[in-house]
Amino acid sequence: MTGHFFEGAEKLLEIWFATSASSTAKYLPRNDLRNIPRDIIEEVLNLVNCKVLQYAQSATTDTYVLSESSMFIFRTHFVLKTCGETTLLHAVQPILELARDYCDFDVVDQVFYSRRKFLRPELQKAPHTSFDHEVAYLDSLFEGGSAYVLGRTNVDCWYLYTLDKTCVHAKTDQTLEIIMTDLDRDKMKIFYQEHTSSVAEATKKAGIDKIFPNARIFDYLFDPCGYSMNGLLPDGHYFTIHITPEPDFSYVSFETNVPYQQYNDVIRKVVALFNPGKFTTTIFGGTASTSLDMHRKLFLYSDYDRIDHQVVCLVDYDLIYSYYKKHPS
């Protein structure tokens, strides 16, 4: 007999596009991923096995809260993050075709596919049953793919697939992801409908509205439990949080593309809100902005030991992976 289980760990895909005609970023109005019609987007999400729950727009960003996590669509790139037993990689080929057909984007500028090691990989559907299978699938679609494993393969690790190439646009970006497990049981109660009457109340009780006070928040409380939110910030910045509160497999993810300089503070705030037993941070920063020696000294948090600290110097990015564990108290 197997009990109730949900794989909170998301598959995370980010693809950046360019045109071979104008590599110096003078785009035509047609060169915009937000031109892809909404019903076509929903068809692609059907292939992934998830549905749109909420949709909103800002000047820079289309944001979707999904039945399994989130999507953000920008002019030249999109972010698709899906949890559970979704088949995210089935979206890749259709998206490449749509970007070409609707937006004249004929160049893939950069790809990032990443995820944490699954708790129960045997429940996943192909090609997500192992990282090797995912890599083979991506290698069939892209040239120059590079597959990395960060962390400890026999304890907890995080996988990344990206392209070994110089980017036109992607390199102006940066991303922080915080993946938290063994969460505070009392804090997780907030994300059960039996304890919290509305999603707005959950967002407020948890303090999520305080992380970036100037955000427009789109949030969703699942029945009987679980929580998702997308936050839109000025200048094309966003953040997104997904919560699987069940004690046996509790999982919270936080992701943002606000500038690198804020990451130490943001990590401190987010970890204080959720009080995880363990968490990993993955940071993609431009190579110019990161001092590896500084990073090693600075990104330390009271109550936590940094168990792992790894750096991968990619062509346009430094990727910094850290794994933290609460002190035995």
- State the nearest-atom distance from the C-beta of 24 to its own copies, in Å: 25
Q: Of 77, 90, 128, 242, which is the active-site residue?
A: 242
- State the nearest-atom distance from the C-beta of 91 to its own copies, in Å: 21
Count of alpha carbons within 13 Å of 190, Cβ hemisphere only?
22
Q: Mask: binding to its own copies, 257-296, rule CB under 8 A, as x and -?
A: ----------------------------------xxx--x
> Which segments are annotated as binding site?
6, 68, 222, 246
Task: Look up residue 307 and give its two tokens.
Answer: 């168990």
Restricting to residues 294-323, name those near its own copies by CB under 8 A: 296, 307-313
**Binding segment (CB under 8 A) for its own copies, from list 52-60, 117-125, 128-136, 253-261:** 128-136
Whether 83 sits among the annotated catalytic residues: the reply is yes
- State the nearest-atom distance from the C-beta of 147 to its own copies, in Å: 4
Distance CA 126, CA 90 (A): 9
**Binding segment (CB under 8 A) for its own copies, from list 36-44, 99-107, 130-138, 249-257:** 130-138
Peptide bond into 234 cis (omega under 30): no
Q: Of 83, 103, 167, 225, which is the active-site residue?
A: 83
Torsion of CA 175, 215, 298, 158, to 10 degrees: -40
Q: For residues 209 and 308, which CB has a smaller minimum distance to its own copies in the complex?
A: 308
Helices (H), the chain: 38-48, 92-103, 131-139, 185-189, 199-206, 263-274, 292-298
Q: Measuring CA to CA, how many Å separate 76 from each of 246, 269, 305?
A: 37, 30, 39
Whether 250 sits among the annotated catalytic residues: the reply is no
Restricting to residues 164-223, name those near its own copies by CB under 8 A: 164
Please check whether residue 304 is in contact with residue 327, taking contact to mean a CB–CB distance below 8 angstroms. yes
Distance CA 77, CA 284 (A): 16
Q: Which of 43, 97, 101, 132 binds its own copies (CB under 8 A)?
A: 132
| DSSP 8-state assignment for residue 98 | H
Q: Which of 30, 51, 152, 210 binds its own copies (CB under 8 A)?
A: 152
- State the nearest-atom distance from the C-beta of 149 to its own copies, in Å: 4
Of 52, 47, 88, which Cα lies nearest the Cα of 67? Answer: 52
Catalytic residue ranges: 69, 83, 228, 242
Binding site for its own copies (CB under 8 A): 131-132, 135-136, 139, 145-149, 151-155, 164, 291-293, 296, 307-313
